[in-house]
């Protein structure tokens, strides 16, 4: 895996209690960064931080709980992380949720209620804007980087629902516009994951069977696969901005 010396760097990772977010927080901390982990309040986040602290007892790790579906809470999370870390170099907007346990067919418009749309857009799109806005000044001072977790649904549709694919398409566009707006001091990029072996709330059936059939690399992506690209876009990639990089095992070849 790619390795960086990130001693003295500070990062906020949202959706960090499991999956891609937890793997990213782990890799950042393994590389020497101080990391604030955000997720919903509860035992899941507490346990994630405790696990990393046990693995990496010399690293600085904080839990900054908060539901990012609310703009005021997002602002409070940003302020809490900033105060604890003393600054911010990297913002990883990874928080996301499908709000359905099984995929909603594209023709089932009745299932896409106003409440469902509102929750999807707030968590999967607006939270990234709110946090970037709240941390803009410090990221500019530090010549930092922002990485957004988008989805391959932003490129070809599908995913858990029409609303989810639309929100992620919006996040792809937001990534480009933030890159334009925060240049040259801050780079803003995204990753577009395919299948992920993680405790995702929406089930797509037998993941191993599906990926063996449809993915050229014959397996789902592990959280660490995605974390490696996120950390590269933070700490390397000095001439890359405004891009959303698909990482999907070749499913669209």
Read off the CATH number of the domain in which 131 is found. 3.40.50.720
Tokens of residue 92, six digits: 């990883």
In a domain, 238, yes or no: yes
Count of structural domains, the chain: 1
Task: Convert the pLDDT of each residue in 171-194 to its tens digit.
Answer: 999 999 999 999 999 999 999 999
Kind of pairing, strands 34-37 and 61-63?
A: parallel
What average pLDDT is seen over the chain?
96
| Per-residue model confidence (pLDDT) at position 67 | 98
CA separation, residue 78 to residues 92, 188, 214, 232, 239 (Å):
12, 17, 39, 23, 27
CA separation, residue 168 to residues 69, 110, 149, 165, 248 (Å):
15, 21, 9, 5, 16
**3-state secondary structure at position 42:** coil
Contact 192/244 with Cβ under 8 angstroms? Answer: yes
| Per-residue model confidence (pLDDT) at position 1 | 65
For 214, other C-beta atoms within 10 Å of its C-beta total 13
In a domain, 1, yes or no: no
| Per-residue model confidence (pLDDT) at position 245 | 98
Task: Convert the pLDDT of each residue in 6-38 to its tens digit.
Answer: 999 999 999 999 999 999 999 999 999 999 999
In a domain, 3, yes or no: no
In a domain, 97, yes or no: yes
Q: Which of 164, 195, 226, 239 is catalytic?
A: 164
In a domain, 253, yes or no: no
Q: Read off the DSSP letter of residue 123.
A: I
Contact 91/132 with Cβ under 8 angstroms? Answer: yes
C-alpha 190/C-alpha 44 separation (Å) is: 25
Residue 106 pLDDT greater than 80, yes or no: yes
In a domain, 5, yes or no: no
CA separation, residue 89 to residues 116, 143, 168, 189, 206 (Å):
33, 7, 24, 14, 39
In a domain, 200, yes or no: yes
Concerning whether 164 is annotated as a catalytic residue, the answer is yes
| Per-residue model confidence (pLDDT) at position 200 | 80
Tokens of residue 162, six digits: 């029409």
C-alpha 74/C-alpha 67 separation (Å) is: 7
In a domain, 67, yes or no: yes
Which range marks the domain in which residue 124 is found? 10-247
| Per-residue model confidence (pLDDT) at position 169 | 98
Q: Which residues pair with 181 in a beta bridge?
A: none
Contact 249/196 with Cβ under 8 angstroms? Answer: no
């Amino acid at each position: 895996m790619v390795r960086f010396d990130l001693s003295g760097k500070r990062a906020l990772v949202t959706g960090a209690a499991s999956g891609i977010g937890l793997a990213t927080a782990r890799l950042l901390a393994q590389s020497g960064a101080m990391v604030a982990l955000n997720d919903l309040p509860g035992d899941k986040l507490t346990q994630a931080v405790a696990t990393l602290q046990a693995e990496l007892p010399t690293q600085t790790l904080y839990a900054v709980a908060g539901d990012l579906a609310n703009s005021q809470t997002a602002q409070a999370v940003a302020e809490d992380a900033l105060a604890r870390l003393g600054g911010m170099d990297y913002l990883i907007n990874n928080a996301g949720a499908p709000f359905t346990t099984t995929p909603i067919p594209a023709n089932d418009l009745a299932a896409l209620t106003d409440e469902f749309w509102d929750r999807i857009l707030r968590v999967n799109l607006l939270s990234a804007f709110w946090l970037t806005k709240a941390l803009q000044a410090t990221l500019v001072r530090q010549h930092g980087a922002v990485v957004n977790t988008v989805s391959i649904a932003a490129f070809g549709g599908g995913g858990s629902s029409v609303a989810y694919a639309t929100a992620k398409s919006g996040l792809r566009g937001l990534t480009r516009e933030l890159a334009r707006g925060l240049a040259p001091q801050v780079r803003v990029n995204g990753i577009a994951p395919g299948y992920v072996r993680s405790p995702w709330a929406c089930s797509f059936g037998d993941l191993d069977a599906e990926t063996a059939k449809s993915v050229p690399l014959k397996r789902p992506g592990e959280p660490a696969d995605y974390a490696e690209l996120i950390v590269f876009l933070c700490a390397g990639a000095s001439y890359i901005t405004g891009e959303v990089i698909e990482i999907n095992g070749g499913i669209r070849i």
